């Protein structure tokens, strides 16, 4: 794990793009956010950056790369709770709860800004609008968890896969990393299986069926939507829960 300064304008960061989709931040707000964002660290793929049970854990804001948060079961199996992409917080709940209740593993090399508890609380005191924006981001993450539970419990495998990939596309589009045609995606079929409650063999079969039906392809690290509207109809995807279309809080 290496530390470095960012050297980038906060306006260029996925985190700022994400927050300003909901709250219009002033120059003073952005200055405070820049201070929060200044300590950059790098994490290698495959080595947990947050461990379940760890105390006094710092949080991170992902600048680049992908990670996953997961729970490891006593039998050795794991459930991936969510994937984190540029612009997302890692370990925010762990900072507020004092003890990490999950693990976070980088899927690719991750560059992230370290955020200590005292810095985060000081920033919220200085600019309540920033606190509001972060609360919105946390609330959206909670809404996604609810939607994932619905998917695991009530959607069949094809619906679950289509909904998940549409959601990922919408999240990436918000930070400038996707469009309606698709997005780059480093996830393996084993990681998809651990997230969607399927076996890797079942994931492979579902992706093949979606491809043969002309709905989407997922090959060579690229998801391409062949028939976006049909995917929406198949999965019942309603992006309202992501709150990307709402008015700015001015």
Looking at every residue in the chain, the average pLDDT score rounds to 88
Greater pLDDT, 226 or 130: 226
Question: How confident is the model over 65-121, as pLDDT tens digits?
Answer: 999 999 988 888 889 999 999 999 887 776 666 677 788 999 999 999 998 888 888
Q: Which of 2-6, 81-85, 232-236 has the lowest mean pLDDT?
A: 2-6
Q: Is residue 3 predicted with pLDDT exceeding 60? A: no
Rounded-to-integer distance, Cα 140 and Cα 96, Å: 17
225/103: higher pLDDT = 225
Given this model, what pLDDT does residue 215 score? 98
Closest CA to 192 of 233, 232, 158: 158
Mean pLDDT of 15-36: 85
Q: Which domains does the chain have, with CATH numbers?
A: 2-139 (2.60.120.10), 155-242 (1.10.10.10)
The phi and psi torsions of 176 (rounded to 5 degrees) equal 80, 25
Per-residue pLDDT, 245: 64
Tell me which of 188 and 54 has the higher pLDDT: 188
Pairing state between β 67-72 and 78-84:
antiparallel
User: How many residues appear in the chain?
Assistant: 250
Q: Return d(Cα 228, Cα 224) in angstroms, integer.
A: 9
pLDDT band at 5 (very low <50, low <70, confident <90, very high): very low
Measured CA to CA in angstroms, residue 12 lies from 3, 9, 51, 77, 150 at distances of: 20, 5, 30, 38, 35
CA–CA gap between residue 172 and residue 182 (Å, rounded): 10
Rounded CA separation 225/169 (Å) = 10
CA-angle at 220, arms to 218 and 226, nearest 5° = 35
pLDDT at 248 over 70: no
Q: What is the pLDDT of residue 2?
A: 44
Residue 22 vs residue 2, higher pLDDT: 22
Ramachandran category for residue 167: left, alpha or beta (phi over 0 → left; psi -120 to 50 → alpha): alpha
Evaluate the CA torsion angle 73, 135, 38, 184 in order and state its sign.
positive
What predicted TM-score, i.e. pTM, was given to this entire model? Answer: 0.90
- When mean pLDDT is compared over 124-128, 151-155, 204-208, the highest value belongs to 204-208
């Amino acid at each position: 794990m290496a530390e470095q300064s960012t050297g980038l304008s906060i306006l260029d960061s996925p985190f700022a793009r994400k927050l300003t989709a909901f709250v219009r931040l002033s120059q003073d707000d952005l200055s405070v956010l820049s201070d929060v964002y200044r300590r950059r660290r790098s994490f290698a793929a495959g080595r947990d950056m947050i461990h379940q049970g760890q105390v006094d854990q710092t949080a991170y804001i992902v600048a680049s790369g992908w990670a996953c948060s997961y729970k490891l079961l006593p039998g050795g199996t794991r459930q991936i709770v969510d994937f984190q992409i540029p612009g997302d917080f890692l370990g925010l709940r762990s900072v507020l709860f004092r003890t990490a209740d999950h693990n976070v593993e980088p899927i690719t090399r991750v560059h992230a800004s370290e955020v200590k508890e005292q810095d985060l609380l000081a920033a919220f005191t200085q600019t309540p609008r920033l606190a509001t924006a972060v609360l919105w981001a946390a609330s959206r993450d909670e809404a996604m968890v609810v939607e994932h539970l619905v998917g695991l419990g009530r959607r069949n495998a094809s619906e679950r896969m289509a909904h998940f990939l549409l959601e990922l596309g919408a999240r990436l589009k918000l930070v400038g990393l996707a469009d309606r045609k698709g997005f780059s995606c480093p996830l393996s079929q084993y990681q998809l299986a651990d997230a969607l409650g399927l076996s890797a063999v079942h994931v492979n079969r579902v992706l093949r069926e979606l491809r043969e039906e002309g709905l989407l392809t997922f090959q060579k690290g690229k998801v391409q939507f062949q028939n976006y509207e049909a995917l929406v109809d198949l999965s019942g995807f309603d992006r309202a829960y992501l709150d990307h279309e709402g008015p700015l809080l001015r």
